[in-house]
Amino acid sequence: MAGQYIQVKTATGNQFKAYLATSVDGKGPGIVLCQEIFGVNQAMREKADLLAEEGYSVLVPDLYWRIEPEIELGYGNEDFQRAFELYQQFDENLGVQDIQDSLNFLKTLDVCDTNVEQAVIGFCLGGKLAYLAACRIPELACSVAYYGVGIEKALDESQNIQGKLVLHIAELDQFSPENVRTTIQNTLQKVAKAEVYVYPQVDHAFARPAGEHFNKVAAQFAHERTITALRKTIGPSYDLAALWEEHIRHEFDTRDVPATMATMVAEPYVNHIPTMTGGVGYKQLSRFYQYHFVHQNPKDMSLTPISRTVGATQVVDEFIMSFTHDEEIDWLIPGIAPTGKKVQIPMLGIIKFRGPKLCHEHIYWDQASVLVQLGILNPQGLPVAGVETAQKLIDESLASNTLMPSWSSSESKSVA
């Protein structure tokens, strides 16, 4: 737990407990995070901590404070029954008022950047409340609802939405069957700033790591969409290209492992896809960098940029890596003794950030092209090429389809 519990004091004299996670920057845009039916439990605190790493100061109010203050439930049958009982007693209208009071209180804290607008994010019960907040709190810049239950019952309020609204819906959610999803989608198509995403083959609570329906891929995709919406509406803005350049400067120029690791989150990971080299977590990755990467690259290794795409959460780099294979390169050509050959490799790097820190790298290249250039793989009769892949990336006018034996057969045929 990275945050702390505080007391929220409202203008009407009410007081309730809330979990506060402070932005990694010390101060950030304010978000109120709304709980599932299980209370402000570990899963909700971890969601808040994750958003704090993204640059936000997050308040998670105890929305059950009128019914049973500070209750924290797990996901077993007994806890689920208790959670459902609390849900049946819960007053949504008072819940929205608690969100408003939490937003107002958050503005009074030094950790909240009051120069920008605020957002609300919710899961399950909290997802419905995030939707209602979008409808009823006009100054709200962004609302994000994960598998909100019962949104279809309040669609008449959607005409009041002024800020950004993002809904994440599970295709297999029994609480939101196909007819309900269709109704929600058709209605919100008329709302200018609304985005509705349906995640195929996943169930309710797909973004809850501790839950039986957790789906990592869908959860990550939804999180990326959430952060993208937040960046566009409330910030913060990070220069991801500059942060990435600083990282690779320490990898290839200064060759400083501690400085390289300092550009990353506490538990990052790197995956070089063709060779499955890299590391997961600080200990493994720093070991990898120290003994198998940073100090084990040829002296003449260079990167030629081809293109760069910078998004809200990641950088995608297309480049050519060139070097002389005059020493062993564990991460790129593991187990192969130096051949002295010159090599040029088209590469693609997808670099994900969490707030101002690099979170992970996925690096792709054609390993067959590398092996052909080293003389290890004979391309004769195989649909692979060597240095030509790099050359054609730079000069698109070079011949295409040279690996296709049937290419000449279509030369005289008409084209539609």
Give the CATH number, domain containing residue 17: 3.40.50.1820
Residue 412 is assigned to a structural domain of this protein = no
226 and 258 fall within a common domain: no
List the structure tokens of 313: 């959460």
Rounded mean pLDDT of the chain?
96
Could you say which DSSP state residue 28 is in? B
216 and 361 fall within a common domain: no
Residue 416 is assigned to a structural domain of this protein = no
**Closest of 349, 327, 390, 325 to residue 248, by C-alpha:** 349
In the block, tokens 């790298």 appear at 361
Mean pLDDT of 172-198: 96
The pLDDT of residue 1 is 61
Share of the chain above pLDDT 90, in %: 96
Among 204, 223, 250, 325, the active-site one is: 204
Pairing of strands 302-310, 314-324: antiparallel
166 and 208 fall within a common domain: yes
Pairing of strands 30-34, 119-123: parallel
- Residue 30 in contact with residue 67, Cβ under 8 Å? no
185 and 87 fall within a common domain: yes
Mean pLDDT of 333-350: 97
Confidence tier at 210 by pLDDT (50, 70, 90): confident
Residue 75 is assigned to a structural domain of this protein = yes
305 and 218 fall within a common domain: no
Residue 194 is assigned to a structural domain of this protein = yes
**Does 147 score more than 70 pLDDT?**
yes
Active site residue 250: no
Mean pLDDT of 80-94: 96
Active site residue 173: yes
Pairing of strands 142-146, 302-310: unpaired
**Does 357 score more than 70 pLDDT?**
yes
| Beta-bridge partners for 392 | none
Mean pLDDT of 191-213: 95
- Residue 101 in contact with residue 63, Cβ under 8 Å? no
In the block, tokens 């909700």 appear at 44
208 and 149 fall within a common domain: yes
197 and 253 fall within a common domain: no
List the structure tokens of 261: 């690791």
The pLDDT of residue 11 is 84
Confidence tier at 408 by pLDDT (50, 70, 90): very high
**Domain end position, chosen among 234, 268, 285:** 234
List the structure tokens of 25: 């920057």
Confidence tier at 84 by pLDDT (50, 70, 90): very high
228 and 252 fall within a common domain: no
Residue 392 is assigned to a structural domain of this protein = yes
Angle made by CA atoms 308, 312, 313, in degrees to the nearest 5: 85
Angle made by CA atoms 81, 59, 162, in degrees to the nearest 5: 95
Confidence tier at 12 by pLDDT (50, 70, 90): confident
Count of Cβ atoms closer than 10 Å to residue 283 Cβ: 10
Among 49, 101, 112, 124, the active-site one is: 124
Predicted confidence (pLDDT) per residue in 225-249, tens digit: 999 999 999 999 999 999 999 999 9
Active site residue 112: no
- Residue 87 in contact with residue 71, Cβ under 8 Å? no
222 and 141 fall within a common domain: yes
The pLDDT of residue 193 is 95
Give the span between the Cα atoms of 216 and 223, in whole angstroms: 10
Give the span between the Cα atoms of 61 and 400, in whole angstroms: 60
**Does 211 score more than 80 pLDDT?**
yes
Residue 411 is assigned to a structural domain of this protein = no
Residue 130 is assigned to a structural domain of this protein = yes
Residue 409 is assigned to a structural domain of this protein = no
For the chain, the helix, strand and coil percentages under 3-state DSSP, each to the nearest 5: 35, 25, 40
Alpha-helical segments (H) within 234-376: 240-248, 257-262, 282-292, 367-373
**Domain end position, chosen among 191, 210, 234:** 234
The pLDDT of residue 77 is 94
57 and 194 fall within a common domain: yes
Find the domain containing 38 and state its range. 4-234
Alpha-helical segments (H) within 211-281: 216-233, 240-248, 257-262
Number of domains in the chain: 2
**99: which residues sit within 8 A by CB, 6+ positions away?**
32, 34, 61, 120, 129, 133, 137
The pLDDT of residue 416 is 79
168 and 310 fall within a common domain: no
Among 173, 247, 272, 360, the active-site one is: 173
**Does 155 score more than 80 pLDDT?**
yes
Q: What is the pTM of this model?
A: 0.94
List the structure tokens of 339: 């051949």
331 and 203 fall within a common domain: no
CATH number of the structural domain spanning residue 346:
3.10.450.50
- Residue 127 in contact with residue 149, Cβ under 8 Å? yes
**Domain end position, chosen among 234, 264, 296:** 234
Give the span between the Cα atoms of 102 and 104, in whole angstroms: 5
Count of Cβ atoms closer than 10 Å to residue 231 Cβ: 19
CA atoms within 13 A on the CB side of 90: 27
**Closest of 204, 216, 145 to residue 176, by C-alpha:** 204
